[in-house]
Every structure is written in structure tokens, then in C-alpha cells.
Chains A and B, each alone.
Chain A
Amino acid sequence: MDITSMLRLLTEKTGVSGDEFSASRAAAQLLSEYASEVEVDVFGNVTGFVRSGSKNVRTLMLDAHIDQIGMIVTYIDDSGFIKVGACGGLDMRTMLAQSVTIHGKQEISGVVCTLPPHVSSDHSKVPEIGEISIDIGMTKEQAQQVISLGDRVTVNSWFRRVGKLVSAPSIDDRSGVCVILRALELLKERTLKYDLAVCFSAQEETGERGVKQAAFRLAPDECIAVDVSFGRTPDSEEHETALMGSGAMIGASAVLDREMTERLKALAEANDIPYTIEVMPSSTGTNADAVSISRGGVKCCTVSIPIRYMHTAVEVIDPTDIEAAARLISEYVGGDSNA
């Protein structure tokens, strides 16, 4: 399966933090083509192993998170409107009049309430999560039949081709899952310098929680956390963003292992893989922060892919950056060709 088809398949599943199972199952199925002992654990983490067949090699964890931002039902009001809380850092500027799906006993469609411009004048106010309501066209009694408090809510959007780029919801971080699966594909014909422990972790968006249990269980020596980072927009700072299509972003941070950073850079140079350096002085805001202090400590680095409009329903990515990140990881892991 090519990268874009895989990304499409994965972004068409939903998995808001704590309820990742639809996305987890799809990712587990894709992973089982390359890995053994694939399982979805009680937390919703997908794990599997790709063994080198050699003795005394170190274990490298490849991590991307499977969950996505979304909302959670907190209340059904007397008129049947649904109140919600946030799962992860929603871009609240984008929520009014959004078309949404509530993942209740069945999938329930709705719209985030707003007042039309005919009767409103202040269009600069961003609502807080507690101020929005979802219109599902039902009475309270009808709503209670199909929706329970705690059900997850996603904003409706879909896979779109935007010039040479691609837009979809949950590219953060299904694209990271694609990077790892593509790297495993590239490694099929090569010997491995590591035993690989693959993890598509749950609940990253609500505080890097799923990966903590997974890292404990997998007990790796090293970890590459694959996540998304900021793509260049006209209003963003050059030094905080990477151009779309500029390749893999290699992390440099106090919490990351400097040798891994340097080795990834050297491999990118040696293999003509496009890359940029992503500097995150104190912490990375990715699963690497949690994994690095798992058990007795894990050497970590990040490999990221630039995306635009992070945490909206129209995240945008350049598929060539997924390929670059996958190649970089395959070079980190791969030894001689065994073809």
C-alpha cells in the first residue's frame, strides 16, 4: 500500500484519546504484516515486535501516537443540546458551525451551535469549550437513547488532495504511524541492527499517558518518537517551522539523546535524505519526553513531519516528508541488504 492510501485509510478511522480502538484495530492490522506478537493492550496501545534474529542487540522502540484530539460529551441539556469537554488541545478558533459526529450507540451527526451574522456583531470572540453546544436535532429524551455522557465527538472532515499536499483530520499523528509502517516496509530486505518494539500509543494528546505503560512493558534501550511538528505558514516564524516538503525534522533538545540526534543527521547526510533540525530547548511535547524517563532511562530522539493547521480538522501534510522520515528511520535501523 502506498503512503497516501495508508494515510487515507488511517485518517478515515477515529480514535479520540481514551477511545482509540477503531484506529488501533486498523493500525494493528497494518502492523501485523511486518511484526509479530501484535496486540492492542487494555490502554488501546498497539504493540508488536520485529526481531533482528541476532543476539545481544539493543531494543529500539519506534513510537507514534494513535489517538487524536476531539471532544467528550459532558451533559445533555433540557432541549437536547449536547455540552462537551475537550480531549486534547482543540483549536477553539475553528469550532463554530462545525459539522461533528458523536460516537454514541451509533454515529450521531450534529452541528456546533453559533449565531448567524444577521444577529451577531462581535466576530472576534473565541468561545471556550464550556460555551459551545452541539445541535443533534433531537429532544433530550431522544438524545438519551443514543448518547451517553463520556461518548467521544470528532469534527467531520475527510481526506482531500490539496495540490501536491494532502489534507485530513488526525494527520497528527496517523502520519507518524505511516512513517513507521513505511520504514518497516523499507527494512524488509535488510538485516536489522536492533530488535524493534513498535508502539502506536494511546492518549498522547491528553498527556503522553499511553506510552508510559507501553514503554514500561516493552523496556527498550532506545526510542524514536515520530510525531508531527509545525509546517511553515506566511504568519509563522521561520525558525519555529519547517517548509512543507523539506523532509524529516530531526529533534534536538535537552531531553533527547545528543548522540542519536547526531547519528540521524549523519545518516540523512550520507543517504541524501532531506531533513531539517527541530530545536526544542527544554522539552519536545512528544512521547519522547515520557519514554526517556521510563524505567531506568531510555535514549530518545524525535523524527517529526511538518504539518500545517495542527489540531484542526484540515491538517495538511506533504506525503514526501513521510517518505523522507521513513527512509531516515530505516537507515538508522537497517544493516546490510539480505536480498
Chain B
Amino acid sequence: MLDRFKTICSIDGTSGDESAVRDYIRSNITADEVTVDNLGNLIVFKKGKKTPENKIMLAAHMDEVGFMVTDVTEDGFLRFGAVGGVDPRVVIGRAVRFKNSTIGVVGTKATHQLSADERKKAPDFTEMYIDIGASTRAEAEKLVSRGDTACFDSDFFSFGDGFIKGKAIDDRAGCLIMMDMINSELEYDMWFAFTVQEEVGTRGAKAASFTVAPDIALVLETTTACDIAGVGGDKRVCQLGKGCVVSYMDRSTVYDRELYKLAFETAEKLGVPVQTKTVVAGGNDSGAIHVSRSGVRTCALSVPCRYLHSPSCVIKQSDYEATKALAAAMANACAVL
């Protein structure tokens, strides 16, 4: 499982530039219908033993947060902006990777060269640049152009008591769960949407849910866990090791109450750990899907993840397994709801 996680997370797919992720998924699934829509969503239909009463769609997004080059300076440095919500403090001092394998590092002048006040203030994206080792604009433009995208060039490892660290676990974890479902024998016919552009406003999911037109959608995600040192009580939002996260509400969706309860009942029957969030925070493709067409009953099942949108997303394997088990069981339960 770890090798597959490492492989899929190491593929670069900034929002709007997901083709490498899509190609990987496409070549690693066997399904009955596979289409790519105009936005780049990968829509997959897999026949099960039975055709359910409700049309079920599972969704996970292929894209990840990253960067886009906005300017190339005269002295060969790249100005850039974030694609998706990224804290600039997790970008400075890191390496990034372009699609043509050009490597850059992100920085400013050295800490020694800053005033005491400057040292206390983290630079914004407008104050940093990517250094690709070019000394002129012409030299830089041989490798990178305005509009090119880059991702974190970050390590992947397992650590501690069953934890995994890597970039883009948000939401390749959801993609992996769906790939495994597609490659397994299904009880019911299912639709799967591997969506694009989630990180820039759940845009791919809008189109995908229109096309699939499901009755019920299950969104497989990673979600904000803040169970770290110095954060207590409800502020932890959700916790690693406590199982799959089922949301009742986030910033984009008020979730279907019946499905929410069904998720907990199903988890209990399965003996799978399940939790909810203690803060109304974040959002995901549900926001687009649940208001699609005349409305779609929607449930989000998430792997709790620390340090989202950084080069170091952290999840616990047992939570991934819990989410995977609950997703399969919920899909079947929703089929006959």
C-alpha cells in the first residue's frame, strides 16, 4: 500500500494541470466506461452485480495545490503565485519541481541580511521568488515560461506508529480508495468522478456531477486535523487515529442528515472507527455536487490529515483503511436507501 501511495503522491498535478495524475489512474483501473470530459475530469462507470435503485457517484479530486509562474525577472528569477490556498510560510526554503523536471528553490535574501523586524515577518508570495539557477531572463525562459505550474519537490516516508508523510495526500488518498473499488468486484453499478480543480473552487466537480447526475454522492477526501502540540479541545477539529471523519457541515456544505447518521450506523456495524469534526471548517467537492442540477444527497468521508496544503501532509494508515472500508460499505448502503 505504501508503494502505491508514494507513487501517486509523487505525480505532479497542480489544479488545471492534472493530466499526469489522470493518466496514471486511467492506466491502473479496469472499468466498463472511462471518459475524460472537457475540463479533464475522469469519469468512470463500473458495473456491479446489480443495478441499484439510486444512482451512486463517488468523487475524489486529482489536483493538488501548487504554484504558477507569473513573471521572469531580468536576472533570471521567477515570480510566482499560489494555485489554491497555501500558507506562504510552508513554501519559503523549499524546492519545487516543474513538469519538465526543472528544479527550483524558493527563497529571499538570507536571514542574516534581515533587520530584526523583518525576521519577525514572514514574506508573502510577492516577496519570494523561485531560483532555477538562471542568471538572465533568456536563460530562464529556455526552461520555464509564464503560466507554467510547479509542485513541491518533497520527500515521502512512513514514520512513527503507522503514519505517512508526503505532498498531495490531499486528495490522492481519495483517488486510491476509488481505484481500489473500481478494481474490485462491486455489488452495485457505481460511477466514479476523479475531479479536477477542486483546490481552486471545486470547479471540476460542478461539471462532473452535472454529467453523471447522481442521486447520491459520496465524496472521499482528506480533512483538516489540528490535533497537534498546543491545540486542545474542539480546536483540534478531528484527530489522527480516531478513524474516518464524517462531516455534518463545513464551509461549503450542510450535509444530508440521514446519510450522516447512516455513515455512523454503517461504521458501527462494520466495527470501523469513525468521528466527526468539532469546527465548521474547510470545504470540498461536496459544495459543488450537493447543489448540482436539482440537488444531490451528499456525504463526505474523509481521512483526517495534518498540515494540509503543505509539502508534508500527514495521515495515519489506520484512518485510511477505516475510510476505505466505510466508503465501500456506504456505497452499498446508499444504493438501496
The reply to whether A117 and B95 form a contact with Cβ atoms under 8 Å apart is: no
Q: Given A77-B229, A126-B121, are A111 and B312 neighbors across the interface (CB < 8 Å)?
A: yes
**Least Cβ distance of B77 to chain A in Å?**
5
Residues 69-83 of A contacting B (Cβ, < 8 Å): 77, 79, 81, 83
Q: Does B281 contact A (CB under 8 A)?
A: yes
The reply to whether A142 and B155 form a contact with Cβ atoms under 8 Å apart is: no
The reply to whether A93 and B119 form a contact with Cβ atoms under 8 Å apart is: yes
Of the listed stretches A96-104, A190-198, A217-225, chain B binds: A96-104
The reply to whether B90 and A97 form a contact with Cβ atoms under 8 Å apart is: yes
Q: Given A117-B86, A316-B131, are A236 and B307 neighbors across the interface (CB < 8 Å)?
A: no
The reply to whether A123 and B229 form a contact with Cβ atoms under 8 Å apart is: no
The reply to whether B90 and A162 form a contact with Cβ atoms under 8 Å apart is: no
Q: Which A-B residue pairs are the 9 nearest by beta carbons? A: A137-B160, A163-B133, A94-B93, A137-B163, A133-B229, A97-B310, A81-B229, A165-B133, A91-B111
Residues 297-324 of B contacting A (Cβ, < 8 Å): 306-312, 314, 316
Q: Given B86, B107, B229, B312, which contacts A309 in the complex, CB threshold below 8 Å?
A: B107
Residues 50-105 of A contacting B (Cβ, < 8 Å): 77, 79, 81, 83, 89-99
Q: Does B29 contact A (CB under 8 A)?
A: no
6 A-B pairs (CB sep. < 8 Å) = A79-B229, A109-B160, A158-B155, A162-B103, A233-B131, A244-B135
Q: Given A93, A109, A120, A230, which contacts B112 in the complex, CB threshold below 8 Å?
A: A230
Interface residues of A, CB < 8 Å — how many? 71
Cα–Cα, bound, A232→B76 (Å): 12
The reply to whether B224 and A119 form a contact with Cβ atoms under 8 Å apart is: yes
**Least Cβ distance of B310 to chain A in Å?**
4
Q: Does A313 contact B (CB under 8 A)?
A: yes
Q: Given A234-B129, A308-B131, A310-B110, are A116 and B88 neighbors across the interface (CB < 8 Å)?
A: no
Q: Does B233 contact A (CB under 8 A)?
A: no
The reply to whether A310 and B112 form a contact with Cβ atoms under 8 Å apart is: yes
List, in ascending order, chain A residues with CB within 8 A of B271's CB: none
Q: Does B161 contact A (CB under 8 A)?
A: yes
Q: Given A97-B310, A109-B157, A233-B108, are A167 and B95 neighbors across the interface (CB < 8 Å)?
A: yes
Cα–Cα, bound, A125→B157 (Å): 28
List, in ascending order, chain B residues with CB within 8 A of A125's CB: 120-122
The reply to whether A124 and B121 form a contact with Cβ atoms under 8 Å apart is: yes
20 other A-B residue contacts (CB within 8 Å) besides A123-B89, A312-B111: A81-B228, A91-B93, A99-B155, A111-B306, A114-B310, A116-B306, A116-B307, A116-B309, A118-B282, A123-B124, A124-B124, A125-B122, A126-B89, A137-B161, A139-B161, A163-B132, A163-B133, A233-B129, A311-B110, A314-B107
The reply to whether B103 and A161 form a contact with Cβ atoms under 8 Å apart is: yes
> What 0/1 pattern do residues 133 to 171 of A give for CB contact below 8 A with B?
101111100100000000000001110111111010000
Cα–Cα, bound, A188→B275 (Å): 69
Q: Which residue of B lies closest to A136 (CB)?
A: B160
**Least Cβ distance of B111 to chain A in Å?**
4
Cα–Cα, bound, A236→B111 (Å): 11
**Least Cβ distance of A193 to chain B in Å?**
34
Interface residues of B, CB < 8 Å — how many? 70
Q: Does B147 contact A (CB under 8 A)?
A: no
Q: Which residue of B lies closest to A244 (CB)?
A: B135
Cα–Cα, bound, A111→B313 (Å): 9
Q: Does B73 contact A (CB under 8 A)?
A: yes
> What 0/1 pattern do residues 83 to 119 of B give for CB contact below 8 A with A?
0011111101111000000111111111111000001
Cα–Cα, bound, A252→B251 (Å): 59
Main secondary structure, interface of A, reads: loop
The reply to whether B155 and A309 form a contact with Cβ atoms under 8 Å apart is: no
Cα–Cα, bound, A156→B135 (Å): 27
List, in ascending order, chain A residues with CB within 8 A of B180's CB: none
Q: Does A30 contact B (CB under 8 A)?
A: no
**Least Cβ distance of A136 to chain B in Å?**
5
Cα–Cα, bound, A233→B113 (Å): 11
Cα–Cα, bound, A109→B159 (Å): 6
Cα–Cα, bound, A126→B92 (Å): 12
The reply to whether A89 and B314 form a contact with Cβ atoms under 8 Å apart is: no
Q: Does A40 contact B (CB under 8 A)?
A: no
The reply to whether B124 and A245 form a contact with Cβ atoms under 8 Å apart is: no
Q: Does A108 contact B (CB under 8 A)?
A: yes
**Least Cβ distance of B280 to chain A in Å?**
10
Q: Given A137, A161, A162, which contacts B314 in the complex, CB threshold below 8 Å?
A: A137
Q: Given A96, A233, A241, which contacts B107 in the complex, CB threshold below 8 Å?
A: A233
Cα–Cα, bound, A125→B312 (Å): 19
Q: Given A83, A162, A234, A236, which contacts B105 in the complex, CB threshold below 8 Å?
A: A162
**Least Cβ distance of B247 to chain A in Å?**
13
Cα–Cα, bound, A83→B230 (Å): 11
Q: Does B75 contact A (CB under 8 A)?
A: yes
**Least Cβ distance of B193 to chain A in Å?**
23
Q: Does B162 contact A (CB under 8 A)?
A: yes
**Least Cβ distance of B14 to chain A in Å?**
16
The reply to whether A99 and B228 form a contact with Cβ atoms under 8 Å apart is: no
Cα–Cα, bound, A118→B310 (Å): 12
> What 0/1 pattern do residues 163 to 195 of A give for CB contact below 8 A with B?
111010000000000000000000000000000
**Least Cβ distance of B278 to chain A in Å?**
11
List, in ascending order, chain A residues with CB within 8 A of B172's CB: none
**Least Cβ distance of B249 to chain A in Å?**
14
